[in-house]
Amino acid sequence: NAGVMQNPRHLVRRRGQEARLRCSPMKGHSHVYWYRQLPEEGLKFMVYLQKENIIDESGMPKERFSAEFPKEGPSILRIQQVVRGDSAAYFCASSPEDEKLFFGSGTQLSVL
């Protein structure tokens, strides 16, 4: 049973480009969470999704950021028109019903 898979591990974008981060949850997990970690800061919740539904997006900026978890395929976190302040590590976690979280290895986004 593979763990939570995130790709790419590292992503470099120029200002104004789009960034797409992918997360495949563990088999059997229907809950996906995205977190952002800035240097020297704790992880911050962004969005919580179940299949085809956004349950809680209260931690996600209203503009430029979107997330989806389609019926088939990985969850996608999309950042449009990236700015330098978007540079961070983005972690995805999945869970079964019991709240225990399993994290992926993260995507390090660098905006030039």
Partner 1 sequence: KNQVEQSPQSLIILEGKNCTLQCNYTVSPFSNLRWYKQDTGRGPVSLTIMTFSENTKSNGRYTATLDADTKQSSLHITASQLSDSASYICVVSSQTGANNLFFGTGTRLTVIP
Q: Which two tokens stand for residue 106?
A: 């993260």
Residues from 9 through 38 that contact partner 1 (CB under 8 A): 31, 33, 35
Where does this chain touch partner 1 (CB under 8 A) — which range of 14-22, 54-62, 66-74, 78-86?
A: 54-62
In angstroms and rounded to an integer, the radius of gyration of the C-alpha atoms of the chain is: 13
- With beta carbons less than 8 A apart as the criterion, state whether 52 and 45 touch: no
The smaller minimum CB distance to partner 1, of residues 72 and 97, is found at 97
Cα–Cα dist 109/102, whole Å? 21
The 10 Å Cβ neighbour count of residue 79 is 22
Where does this chain touch partner 1 (CB under 8 A) — which range of 13-21, 53-61, 68-76, 77-85?
A: 53-61
Q: Which two tokens stand for residue 64?
A: 């430029």
**Interacting residue ranges for partner 1, rule: CB under 8 A:** 4, 6, 31, 33, 35, 40-45, 48, 55-56, 58-59, 91, 93, 95, 99-106
